[in-house]
Amino acid sequence: MKKYASFLRFVGFLAVFAEILVTMLVGGCIVDDTVEEADGTEADTDSGKSAVATDDVQTDDTGAEDTVSDMDTEDTSTEVPLSAVIPFQISNVDMSSMVWKEPGELNFKGSSCEHHASINTDSCDIDCISSSSVQCWIMTQPDRSEVAIIYAKAISVAKNIKVTLEGQRPLILISQSSIFVDGKVEGSDSVSNGRGTLGGFSVDVGGPGKGERPLEDGGTGGGAYCGTGGDGGRLDDEYPGGTGGAPYGNAEIIPLQGGSSGGSQGLWKGGAGGGAIQLVAKETIEIGPIGFISLPGRGGDIEGQGGGSGGAVLLEAPSIAVKGSIAVNGGGGGGGKNRGGYTGGPNDSPAPGGVEDRMPKGGDGSAGKGIDGLAGENHDKETHSSASVAGGGGGGAGWIRLNTTTGEAKIEGIVSPSLETSCASIGTLK
C-alpha cells in the first residue's frame, strides 16, 4: 500500500508539472502573437494636415539626396516614373530619377479654407485640402539649391480662397491633368531663419541682385532680378545714395530661384525679394478671371530702405490661359523718415515708395512695362528739413515664363512685368 501511495503521489506531481508546462507554452505563443501584431500596426498620426511629415531619403544617380514623403506605407499601387506621366521635359526637374505612386487631388475649396490655406516648402505641410494622398519631394537643383515638389492628380484653388506660400524653398506643383486657379496664390510676408520666402532673398542674405547701402545717410538701393533696382537718393548733393542691384537670372527661369532684397542701413531693413513658383500640368493651366499668382518684392522700411525685387513664376503645360493676373512686381522704397514703401501688388500698377509731407519720397517699384525700380528722391536741406535721410530705391521686376506646345498662350488678363518687356516671355515645351 505504501508503494502504491507513493506511486499515486508521483503521478499527481507529473500531472501538475505537465499543466504548468502547457500553460507556459501557450502563454508564450500568445505573447509572441501580441508582439508580432504590435510590430505590424501603424500609429494614427493624422494632425489635420496633409500626411507629408514622414520622409524617406533617396539618392539619385548624381549622388544628390532627394526626399520623398512616405504618405501611405500600405499603398500597393504601381509606381511609375514621372517621365511616363508627363509627356514633356519639365524644367528644373530630373524626371528620370523620380518615381511616383498614383496621387490624389489637391483642391483648395470650402468655407473652412478661407482663412488658413497654406503650403509650407520647408516641412511639406499643406493646410486645408481635400485629399491627404498628394506626394511631396525635396530635390536638389544643379546649382545645389533645393526645391519642394508637390505631385497631385489635379490641382485647383477655388474663388474666395487665399493660399499662402511659406517656407524657404521654391515650390514646384505638378498635376497629372490640369491646374485651375480662381483664387489667390501669394508668398508669405514672413522671413524664417534670416531667409526670405520660396527662394527669395531677405536682407540678411541679400542675393545676387541686392541693393547697396550708401556711405552716409543717402537712401539705399533697390533689389534687382530681371529689372534693375532703383538707386537710393543723394544726401544734400554731398553724399550719393546706394546703388540699385544689378540684374541676374534668365528668361527660362533655370534654376528656379527668387528675387533679391533692397539695401539697408541703421536699424531698419530693405524689403525681401519675391519667391519663385513653377506650375506644371499634363493638359492645361488656367488662371481664372478673379484668380492671381503674385510673388512680389516687399516694400523697404522707413528711413530710406530699398524695396525688394519681384520673384519668378514659371508655367508649363500644352495649353495656358491667363484671364486673371500673374505678377512679380518690385516693392517700393522707404521714404526719408516715417513712411515705408509698399509691397508689389497682383496687378500692373507700381507699388508706391514711402511718402510724407516735406520728406524725400521712396522710389516706386517696377510694374507693367516699367521693369526697373525708380530712384529714391534726393534729400535737400531746405525742402526736406524734417528728415535726415534720402529716399530708398524701388525694387526691379522679376521673371515670368509661359511654356506651351505651340509657343502661344491665351492672355486675356494681366501679366506684370508685361509680355512686351524682356522680363516676361512665352516659349515652347521640350
Give a yes or no: residue 309 inside a domain.
yes
Give a yes or no: residue 21 inside a domain.
no
In angstroms, the CA 150 to CA 72 distance is: 15
The most confident of 9-13, 141-145, 177-181, by mean pLDDT: 177-181
Q: How many domains does the structure of the chain reveal?
A: 1
Domain of residue 92: give its range: 54-430
Phi, psi of 4 (to 5 degrees): -65, -40
Give a yes or no: residue 24 inside a domain.
no
In angstroms, the CA 394 to CA 384 distance is: 20
Give a yes or no: residue 26 inside a domain.
no
Residue 346 has pLDDT above 50, yes or no: yes
Give a yes or no: residue 43 inside a domain.
no
Give Cβ neighbours of residue 317 (< 8 Å, ≥ 6 apart).
Answer: 178, 179, 279, 280, 281, 282, 283, 284, 285, 403, 404
Phi, psi of 236 (to 5 degrees): 55, 35
Give a yes or no: residue 8 inside a domain.
no
Contact 392, 270 (CB under 8 A): yes
- C-alpha distances (whole Å) from 78 to each of 66, 99, 100, 126, 305 are 20, 10, 8, 24, 54
Tell me the pLDDT tens digit for each residue of 412-422. 999 999 999 99
Tell me the pLDDT tens digit for each residue of 148-169. 999 999 999 999 899 999 999 9
Q: Tell me, what's the pLDDT at 215?
A: 82
Give a yes or no: residue 429 inside a domain.
yes
In angstroms, the CA 177 to CA 146 distance is: 25
Contact 235, 214 (CB under 8 A): yes
Confidence category of residue 211, pLDDT binned at 50, 70, 90: very high
Confidence category of residue 193, pLDDT binned at 50, 70, 90: low
Cα–Cα nearest to 313, from 404, 156, 186, 168 = 186
In angstroms, the CA 52 to CA 64 distance is: 21
Per DSSP, helices labelled H in 108-175 are: none
Residue 74 has pLDDT above 50, yes or no: no
Q: What is the mean pLDDT of residues 35-63?
A: 36
Q: Which of 70-79, 299-308, 372-381 is least confident? A: 70-79
Higher pLDDT, 38 or 224: 224
* H or E element in which residue 293 lies: strand 292-294
Give a yes or no: residue 367 inside a domain.
yes
Residue 328 has pLDDT above 90, yes or no: yes
Number of Cβ within 10 Å of residue 131's Cβ equals 15
pTM of the predicted model, to two decimals? 0.82
Give Cβ neighbours of residue 413 (< 8 Å, ≥ 6 apart).
Answer: 287, 289, 322, 323, 324, 325, 326
